[in-house]
């Protein structure tokens, strides 16, 4: 099934992201996470592609398990960094053989040795796939607080339009902790005439290390109520408080007319289980 059809059929869509192992063959952890997530009946799962263009085979391997063993609607992430036309075609044909219908087209996380060959931006990848492999349904990333390399949020949204013009039909946001940033972003999209459906990316923060890493990597704004959660809790208390905060965020998004939430699970099935269970009524 394609993600846009799920959004057309359901009032509130909940999905989840998992990541594959860095090396081939070590699939146990992600399979365990998929098994836990399958029990939650997610509307779809997405499987990341390694940073700096590494590890594409494991994405396809995990996609194959999600489709064949767990019968889940699956989105494979695909990145432009270090990507050539020949490599892309090989990967897309592999994904098509495994039954993947949805591709999240991305530029990719980069490193100091990153190179760009045939594609520079996510929109280049989307345009190529749309032209050569129109059977795939294309999804793109967006940034409620702006991408870190964009000169402004407005400029980033203008670039987002290029992705949509290139064939992207659904968007998933970067994680955020402040729903008001998302609501302002939604208004900006509307002002710019962008009506592509959006899944809001939510990551439950459950330990102190994750706080420093995630915040540094995403650049997400920490609103005062979440700052209090982080400052006043540690150990098991932070675990509980982090889940409570994510559930409150999701319930608020739902109450404000948001149609979909994508949960960044970090392969922790038990956390996803609790969040989904506490949002069950929203999906009824």
**Based on CB atoms, which residue is closest to ligand FAD, 2 or 106?**
106
Determine if 48 is a binding residue for ligand FAD (CB under 6 A): yes
**Based on CB atoms, which residue is closest to ligand FAD, 33 or 106?**
106
Determine if 162 is a binding residue for ligand FAD (CB under 6 A): yes
1, 67, 96, 150: which one contacts ligand FAD (CB under 6 A)? 150
% helix, strand, coil for the chain, step of 5: 50, 15, 35
Determine if 156 is a binding residue for ligand FAD (CB under 6 A): yes
Of the candidates 129, 91, 101, the residue with the CA atom closest to the CA atom of residue 45:
101
Residues 53-72, mask of contacts with ligand FAD (x by CB under 6 A): --------------------
Determine if 49 is a binding residue for ligand FAD (CB under 6 A): yes
Residues 95-124, mask of contacts with ligand FAD (x by CB under 6 A): ---------x-xxxx-----------xxx-
Determine if 163 is a binding residue for ligand FAD (CB under 6 A): yes
222-to-218, 234, 272 alpha-carbon distances in Å? 11, 17, 22
Residue by residue, DSSP assigns 205-229 as: --SHHHHHHHHHHH-----HHHHHH
β-pair type (44-47, 13-18): parallel
User: What residues contact residue 267 under an 8 Å CB cut-off, 6+ apart?
Assistant: 18, 19, 29, 30, 32, 33
Structure tokens at 251: 């319930």
Tell me the closest approach of the beta carbon of residue 81 to ligand FAD, in angstroms.
Answer: 7
**Based on CB atoms, which residue is closest to ligand FAD, 204 or 238?**
204
**Based on CB atoms, which residue is closest to ligand FAD, 53 or 242?**
53
Contacts with ligand FAD by CB under 6 A: the residue count is 24
How far the first Cα of the chain sits from its last, in Å, is 20
Rounded Cα distance between 271 and 111, Å, is: 30
79, 179, 206, 249: which one contacts ligand FAD (CB under 6 A)? 79
149, 152, 209, 216: which one contacts ligand FAD (CB under 6 A)? 149
Determine if 172 is a binding residue for ligand FAD (CB under 6 A): yes
User: For 43, what's the count of Cα atoms within 13 Å in the CB-facing half-sphere?
Assistant: 23
Q: Coil, strand, or helix at residue 170?
A: strand
Report the Cα 53 to chain-centroid distance in Å.
16
Tell me the closest approach of the beta carbon of residue 72 to ligand FAD, in angstroms.
Answer: 17
Binding residues for ligand FAD, per CB under 6 A? 48-49, 51, 77, 79, 104, 106-109, 121-123, 141, 147, 149-150, 156, 159, 162-163, 172, 174, 201
């Amino acid at each position: 099934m394609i993600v846009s059809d799920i959004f057309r059929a359901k009032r509130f869509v909940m999905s989840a992201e998992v990541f594959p192992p860095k090396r081939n063959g070590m699939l146990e952890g992600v399979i365990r996470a998929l098994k836990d997530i399958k029990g939650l009946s997610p509307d779809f799962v997405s499987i990341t592609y390694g940073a700096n263009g590494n590890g594409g085979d494991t994405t396809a391997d995990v996609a194959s398990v999600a489709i064949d063993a767990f019968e889940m609607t699956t989105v494979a992430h695909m990145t432009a960094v270090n990507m050539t036309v020949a490599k892309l075609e090989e990967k897309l044909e592999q994904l098509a053989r495994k039954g993947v219908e949805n591709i999240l087209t991305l530029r990719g996380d980069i490193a100091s040795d990153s190179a760009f060959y045939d594609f520079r931006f996510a929109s280049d990848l989307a345009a190529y796939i749309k032209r050569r492999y129109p059977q795939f349904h294309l999804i793109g990333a967006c940034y409620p607080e702006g991408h870190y390399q964009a000169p402004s949020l407005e400029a980033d949204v203008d670039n987002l339009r290029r992705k949509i013009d290139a064939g992207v039909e659904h968007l998933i946001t970067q994680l955020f902790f402040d729903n008001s940033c998302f609501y302002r972003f939604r208004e900006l999209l509307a002002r710019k005439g962008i009506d592509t459906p959006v899944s809001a990316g939510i990551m439950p923060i459950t330990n102190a290390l994750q706080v420093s890493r995630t915040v540094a990597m995403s650049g997400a704004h920490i609103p005062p109520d979440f700052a209090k959660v982080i400052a006043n809790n540690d150990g098991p208390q932070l675990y509980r408080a982090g889940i409570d905060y994510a559930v409150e965020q999701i319930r608020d998004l739902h109450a404000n007319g948001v149609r979909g939430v994508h949960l960044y699970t970090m392969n922790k099935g038990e956390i996803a289980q609790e969040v989904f269970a506490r949002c069950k009524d929203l999906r009824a």
